Amino acid sequence: MPMLVFGLVLVFQKAKGLKGSGFILSGLGGLFLGIHFMKEGFETFKDAFDLTAYAVSGYPGILLFALIGVVATVVMQSSHATLVLILTALAAQQITYENALGLAIGANIGTTVTAIIGSLSANVDGRRLAGAHLIFNVVTASVAIGFIYQLIRAVDTISIWLGIASDNYALKLAVFHSIFNGLGIVLMLPMINPMVRFLQRVIKPRTRTTAEPRYLNSSTIGLPDTAIEAVRMETLRLYDNASEIIAEGLSLNLSDILSDRPIAELVARARKPVNLDIDERYDLNVKELYSKIVEFISHAQSDLSPSQSNDFFILRAAGRDIVEAIKDTKHLQKNLSHYLTSENEAIRQEYDNIRANLANALRQLNTVRRQGGDANVSLSLDSIKIGMKQSDHDLNARLTTSIRDRLISAPMSISLMNDSGYAYHVTKNLVKMGEVLFATGESQLREAERSVSLDERELEELLQETNSPNPNRSDEN
């Protein structure tokens, strides 16, 4: 009771240290109070009903009560709770010492079920660890049951050394539990390497589909910062899947784009018409994964600070930008595939320029991603936006000449302008995504970087200054 009293008083203090101490004292006080209540309950229960009348001696009793210990631990999901019950019942003389040993052995087997359940959503190493835990406890329990009477004599000998009374079965049970765990270490320590090889052979990594989440885990929902990082990593995977679709939509290979080979050379050699079904690939590799990310964010958005809520919001928006980039690529695909092998060299060259610009943007985005926090992400991404805006400006300037010289027809120019717009929006959405995902600093620093990135109006003004003639230059000449 003193622990509970002082614990409750400290819980309401403002100082974090005192408040933490209060929670610790309250928890310990509640534990001891619970043990006291259980002991009183068994004492009262004993007056009406004596469980020792159902005691089973010998190996049958050990095996039966070991099974009961397994079931009790699986139900309560805690071997510690089972051991507290065993100690309380033993102190109240509601079970025999021999049957209590069987229950303790069963509790150690039952606790592996909790680990196995927890490993179902874990990675391959987590499942192997749960397997090792199962092997350790089952092997130790089997040996302990087989040599139970030898262990009982060992407990009696050690109890005499420690000055434990011969009828103090609660303390003798504690000694037995210590011997049990020590026996497990002695048995399994030489078997670690063979056990590792066995588990690696039996428990293999799961074959994951591209759209299956790898970082989202329900256990991280209660840890906001961990959950935010998991969403960021999963959204990066979403970008990887989308990049492959965008590259194939340009009749290019993503690995070639990200290599050191000249972009112009890659584009010039890639003349195979685009047969990619973007809708199908989107449904398989992007839509399902994005829906899992959105669902995870919805479950994780509780008891968050404003900064954490904002991080989730912009990460979800980054996923939407990736989806929009794929949709714009789909709109671009039809005419691009048609003019890829056109006999009209002018229109073919213009679409090659669009492909080259997008491929170059993907390569630059990959460079910024690899640099991460080592560089000013916003400045690097601004250079991509400026380059794409300049390309769009140069195309509009060439169109007038191409139509006047009858190099391309007016309908071709309309298609070209629309597709140039789609290409620009692909780059714009991917750059917006990069501003969120590629920066690795503190949240406030990332927000500050995004705030200084160039917007549409500033891009237009910068291009006008760059492309406008300089009167001073003509005067000097």
Q: Higher model confidence: residue 51 or residue 395?
A: 395
Residues 136 and 263 in one domain: no
| Torsion angle (degrees, nearest 10) of CA 56, 60, 65, 67 | -150
Are 391 and 469 in a shared domain?
yes
Kindly state whether residue 326 falls inside one of the protein's structural domains.
yes
Query: Which residue is listed with tokens 């008891």?
Result: 303
For residue 368, being part of any structural domain is answered with yes
- Among 202, 228, 248, give the residue marking a domain's end: 202
The pLDDT assigned to 376 comes to 67
> Is the model more confident about 165 or about 8?
165
Question: Are residues 304 and 170 both part of a single domain?
Answer: no
pLDDT for 51-105, tens place per residue?
555 567 778 888 888 888 888 777 776 677 777 777 777 776 777 888 888 888 8
pLDDT digits (tens, 9 = 90+) for 437-447: 887 655 544 55
227 and 152 both lie in a single domain = no
| 175 found inside a domain | yes
Distance of CA 382 to the CA centre of its chain: 30
- 227 and 177 in one domain? no
139-176: burial string, b at 16+ Cβ within 10 Å, e else: bbbebbbeebeebbeebeeebeeeebeeeebbbbbbbb
Query: How far does CA 342 lie from the centroid of its chain?
Result: 47
* Domains of the chain: total: 2
Residue 63: exposure state from Cβ atoms within 10 A (0-12, 13-18, ≥19): middle
Asked whether residue 76 is domain-assigned, the answer is: yes
CB count within 10 Å of CB 456 equals 10
Q: Comparing 76-80, 217-221, 422-426, 449-453, which segment has the lowest mean pLDDT?
A: 449-453
The pLDDT mean for the chain works out to 79
Q: Which residue has the higher pLDDT, 273 or 282?
A: 282
| Structure confidence at residue 234 (pLDDT) | 92
pLDDT of residue 27: 75
**Domain harbouring 407, CATH code:** 1.20.58
- Same structural domain, 314 and 452: yes
Residues 130 and 175 grouped into a single domain: yes
Q: What is the pLDDT of residue 461?
A: 59
Last residue of a domain, one of 171, 202, 233: 202
Structural domain of 408 = 218-476
Position 26 in a domain: no
Angle at 188 between CA 182 and CA 194, to 5 degrees: 170
Are residues 457 and 380 located together in one domain of the fold?
yes
Model confidence band, residue 209 (pLDDT cutoffs 50, 70, 90): low
Provide the pLDDT confidence category of residue 380 given band limits of 50, 70 and 90. confident
Q: Is residue 209 part of a domain?
A: no
The pLDDT of residue 321: 94
pLDDT of residue 317: 93
242, 284: one domain? yes
Q: Which of 175, 202, 229 is the last residue of a domain?
A: 202
